[in-house]
Amino acid sequence: MNTREAIVRHVRDLTFVGKAGSNHWTTIDSSHQGNTPAATSPMELLLVALGACTGSDVAVILQKKRVRFDNLEIRVTGERAEKDPKVYRSIHVE
């Protein structure tokens, strides 16, 4: 098995920091108050992580095939449920 671990710590209100094997802390904010949350929300971070994981796979494949590329953009959209728990009902990677 290839087990990974992450640590998430509460900062204040709905703001947390988390890190995993890279030892880089990331700020996460679930606050829905105001127009400027302190950081990316957990649900946004899930989409960003999926896009980065997909992009990494594509870049590795292109490098192995010696395909040059100057630009790679992954667009990830998620449709969330209207009622709690507001899980993603579908996610589309483009």
The verdict on 31 and 48 lying in the same domain is no
For 28, other C-beta atoms within 10 Å of its C-beta total 20
Residue 85 preceded by cis peptide, ω within 30 = yes
Please give the residue range of the domain that contains residue 78: 41-94
The verdict on 91 and 70 lying in the same domain is yes
The verdict on 12 and 48 lying in the same domain is no
pLDDT in tens, the chain (94 residues): 899 999 999 999 899 999 999 999 999 998 876 667 789 999 999 999 999 999 999 999 999 999 999 999 999 999 999 999 999 999 999 9
Number of domains in the chain: 2
